[in-house]
């Protein structure tokens, strides 16, 4: 889903190389729709401004050991922080 989101946008040039390189990264576990629906209800994640792609990324991060979610989306990042899953790059 991340690759498709990037493919729908304008990734850095050269476009095809960027998308190919991203496909080489290790994949996260993929939350099923049933798992996602359960998470939304259990954690009351509805009405917070995050859609199905955002919440699938969050749920998949939860299912992937040692994974953190790196996003510039403020609402998704707030949820990642809520669950201790927000990635913060080190600043030098």
Kindly state whether residue 42 falls inside one of the protein's structural domains. yes
pLDDT reported for residue 54: 95
Residue 34 forms part of a structural domain: yes
State how far the Cα of 91 lies from the Cα of 33, in Å rounded to an integer. 36
Residue 39 lies in a domain: yes
Q: Is the pLDDT at 90 greater than 90, yes or no?
A: no
88 in a domain, yes or no? no
Which residue range is the domain that position 22 belongs to? 2-82
- HEC per residue, the chain: CHHHHHHHCCCCCCHHHHHHHHHCCCCCCCCCHHHHHHHHHHCCCCCCCCCHHHHHHHHHHHHCCCCCECCCCHHHHHHHHHCCCECCCCCC
Whole-number pLDDT of residue 2: 81
Has residue 89 been placed in a domain? Answer: no
- Residue 91 falls inside a structural domain: no
> Could you tell me the pLDDT band of residue 91, with boundaries at 50, 70 and 90?
confident
Residue 29 is assigned to a structural domain of this protein: yes
Does 87 reside within a domain?
no
Give how many domains the chain has, as a whole number: 1
Identify which has the larger pLDDT, 90 or 30: 30
14-66 residue pLDDT tens:
999 999 999 999 889 999 999 999 999 999 999 999 999 999 999 999 999 99
């Amino acid at each position: 889903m991340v690759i498709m989101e990037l493919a729908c946008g304008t990734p850095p040039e050269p476009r095809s190389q960027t998308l190919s390189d991203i496909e080489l990264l290790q994949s996260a576990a993929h939350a099923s729709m049933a798992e996602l629906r359960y998470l939304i209800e259990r954690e009351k994640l509805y009405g917070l401004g995050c859609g199905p792609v955002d919440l699938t990324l969050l749920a998949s991060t939860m299912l992937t050991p040692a994974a953190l979610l790196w996003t510039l989306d403020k609402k998704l990042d707030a949820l990642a922080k809520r669950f201790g899953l927000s990635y913060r790059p080190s600043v030098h």
